[in-house]
Amino acid sequence: MNKVDHQLTIAVRRGMPTDLLDLLRKFPRGRWAGDPRIHGLAEGWIQRHEMFRELSVLTAKATADLREGRLAAETFLPLFQRRMGLLLSELETHHHVEDHHYFPAFAAAAPKLQKGFDILDNDHDVIHDSILSLNQASCELIAALSGEVSGHDGDAMRVAARLAGKITGFDRVLLRHLEDEEDLIIPLILERTRDDPDFR
């Protein structure tokens, strides 16, 4: 991976650099759904990202509902454990496949986009660290609510407040990454599928 300029890191940038978006201008988001080449790899990619977005929203909402008293701890725990566990584990797996299979293959097929794949690869490092932090905070809340650590309900709510802050930061980073990745990769898949129906 090549070094990424600070202005292009995930916490700073507002989107992919314009010089990497020629294909997005050729294949804008508004036309993806109607393009027959969307079926297959591109569609699967988008569906995976939508799952991450949905799980992120659900975990944030459940944590807010717990803090506001709209959800009892015994109802919250199984929902939260399942959804947060699925989000973090599937995201790690997805990024591993991208890093070791798709990104190298796509960069070889479109060398002009190498900077974009470097940016996305750097994102993955940042998101990995966020996943570890979020997992730790989640485990602390689960332990507090399960009675595995001594304390009062107020202590659990303070842990929940810390977790909510981490979820907010994680969501901001994740959503930026997913959108930028789609802007780079989906048009590339559509373009390459036009030239090579077997492109994967």
pLDDT by residue for the chain (200 residues), tens digit each? 688 999 999 999 999 999 999 999 999 999 999 999 999 999 999 999 999 999 999 999 999 999 999 999 999 999 999 999 999 999 999 999 999 999 999 999 999 999 999 999 999 999 999 999 999 999 999 999 987 655 445 688 999 999 999 999 999 999 999 999 999 999 999 998 865 555 55
CATH number of the domain that residue 91 is part of: 1.20.120
The per-residue b/e assignment along 26-63, b for 16 or more CB within 10 angstroms, e otherwise, is ebeeeebeebebbeebbbebbeebeebbebbebbbebb
Angle at CA of residue 120, ends 131 and 88, nearest 5° = 20
Total domain count for the chain?
1
Residue among 26, 51, 49, 30 at smallest CA distance from 190: 26
Domain of 74, in residue numbers: 6-10+19-195
Angle between the 114-146 and 153-195 helix axes, to the nearest 10 degrees? 150
What's at 97, amino acid-wise?
V
- 121-122-125-130 Cα dihedral, nearest 10 degrees: -120
